[in-house]
Structure 1
């Protein structure tokens, strides 16, 4: 494992040197590129910001955050566009990952009941039920386990099924293949529209500050970030800084433009056969995006506490959350 990781790091460092003038070549693993939680990365690419900052990015689109993490561990990607939880999860395994720019301040996950399911009125009713997540071991899985534990159930009280995050997730919930699912946008908005007003029971919703406060008891919860091996971030600090700046430029563009204007910059297939619902979902999601790319210590510590409740390995580990992220690049870009 060390050899391909080292090779990736060396290649990125060489290509970003001032002498060669060549762009840094970076492969980004994304846990579901069409999902709105990762939209700032796609937008930065579509607007040409990575290119302008001197970074040539290639995307590896994967089913969920755990798959993107595996790709990083295996050396097939240099950087992951995933959820911040994984940096803490891996520190508990004595592996150092570091997030270097944030793009979400609210997780924007919705635990929703399938319109086909009966008798589910609360999280406690999920005991013994089939619940969909993007992939086992992903942040949606962590979220589910946290909610189960917080409602007096064991983290494995429900049967977890990997259903992806976009069209496959929507189909699984609509068709009753799972009784409930942790959904991301635009999947939740599409489900809500197709089922009809009031037909989809929501058990938890973290798309707003109010929802985050209710679930996690904080006002900001670092979610989608760019992260990599801590050694890569240190050895490729110039490249990491350029990538962070491109993301922050995209976040500023989001703040300055309408949902329709943002949607117009996305690949057409992201809107699918219902572009109006995609725009509506994006309008609701805009407030969840970070405005500065920073990770707040209070929020990072809240993430660690959530993982301690749902992951015994994290609960038993001695954590130093300060080593799992850096704000140096975001601060330099502000």
Structure 2
């Protein structure tokens, strides 16, 4: 049985020139992580390897599950999902670990891309406001005139910020999205006043709260938080691939999905501390307790079987239609944006 749902809003600058993409890939290679060097070679671009929302990518490798499936997986990293997506469209990698919503917008641009295993049922994102601006921004209704941080234009943080604004009566041209990345650059922008608030994920969220540099305005790290903010489950982090490649390499895709589903099941039966212990030491940035807490806060977003949550694609389409003219003016076939074929076989 096959289903799909795809959206991805590339900003005008989203489709990078091949030369720029090559540079991105070369930069990403500096933070590459590879498997045993044996087996079928697969390159996967991750929209931020150290982000907790994409934790299953590195964890699968650390647990040895790619190797167990006879795969030699090379994990590359780009800090913004839209750049990771562009690398996939350019054919530089075979898969992207990023937000499912990119598959919808890509469909409106004539690109057939589908999620083959769904890691999550909530965005895992948090809208943070700086401590200084907390008195002026008490809900998304107060976004008007504010500078709000996102990873990059056309990213999922951009999409979700726009939806929160529109849903609360603020037009997308009434606030300023500011591309500040994630991690240290986001925190610095918040502390220096370059942004009044913004959308980010753990471990950045945990660090901001620990430093008392900001406060949580909207928390979408749990299914309940997603329901409250977005009106339903919001499938986000996933492995998505070009449909033609999937159809031509089903055995390899099945092995990838087997490995990821095995990881999701492992995560569902282990504590945040046990998960943190498996990750690269530098991911904790010297504070293992804080890193463990960031994993604990985000764990509720993950599925334990890789299956697309019921009504998830419809929620994503509704969110995108609120502000995305590409989606508003297109007849998106959600059944082509994801497939359950491989996760069902993995079970």
Match of 1:54 in 2: 70
| 1:63 is the counterpart of 2:76 | no
Q: Deviations over 1:217-266 (max 9, x none)?
A: 22x32110000111011111111111111111111111111111110111
Of 333, 336, 344 in structure 2, the residue corresponding to residue 323 of structure 1 is 336
Q: Which moved more, 1:276-285 or 1:136-145?
A: 276-285
Of 44, 48, 53 in structure 2, the residue corresponding to residue 32 of structure 1 is 48
Of 295, 308, 315 in structure 2, the residue corresponding to residue 295 of structure 1 is 308
| 1:189 is the counterpart of 2:206 | yes
| Alpha-carbon distance in structure 2 between the residues aligned to 1:252 and 1:175 | 41
Q: Deviations over 1:103-160 (max 9, x none)?
A: 1111111111012335222212221211111111111110001011101121232211
Match of 1:254 in 2: 267
* Contact map agreement 1:145 1:156 (CA 8 A) in 2: no
Cα displacement (A) at 1:209: 2.1
Of 223, 228, 234 in structure 2, the residue corresponding to residue 214 of structure 1 is 228
| 1:136 is the counterpart of 2:153 | yes
Match of 1:268 in 2: 281
Of 153, 158, 175 in structure 1, the residue corresponding to residue 192 of structure 2 is 175
* Contact map agreement 1:297 1:322 (CA 8 A) in 2: no
Q: Deviations over 1:160-200 (max 9, x none)?
A: 112222222222223322111101011111111110xxx73
Q: Deviations over 1:44-71 (max 9, x none)?
A: 0111111111111112210210010111
Identify unmatched segments of 5+ residues in structure 2.
1-14, 19-37
| Alpha-carbon distance in structure 2 between the residues aligned to 1:242 and 1:176 | 46
Match of 1:15 in 2: none
| Alpha-carbon distance in structure 1 between the residues aligned to 2:47 and 2:131 | 26
Match of 1:121 in 2: 138
Cα displacement (A) at 1:203: 2.5
| Alpha-carbon distance in structure 2 between the residues aligned to 1:315 and 1:286 | 33
Q: Which moved more, 1:58-67 or 1:166-175?
A: 166-175
Match of 1:81 in 2: 97
| Alpha-carbon distance in structure 2 between the residues aligned to 1:129 and 1:257 | 41
| 1:102 is the counterpart of 2:115 | no
SS at match of 1:81: strand
Identify, as 1 or 2, the structure richer in helix: 1
Cα displacement (A) at 1:73: 1.6
Which 4+ stretches in 1 moved above 6 angstroms?
Answer: none
* Contact map agreement 2:163 2:319 (CA 8 A) in 1: yes
| Alpha-carbon distance in structure 2 between the residues aligned to 1:34 and 1:157 | 32
SS at match of 2:93: coil
RCO comparison, higher one (Cα < 8 Å, 6+): 2
* Contact map agreement 1:66 1:135 (CA 8 A) in 2: yes
Give TM-score scaled by structure 2 length: 0.86
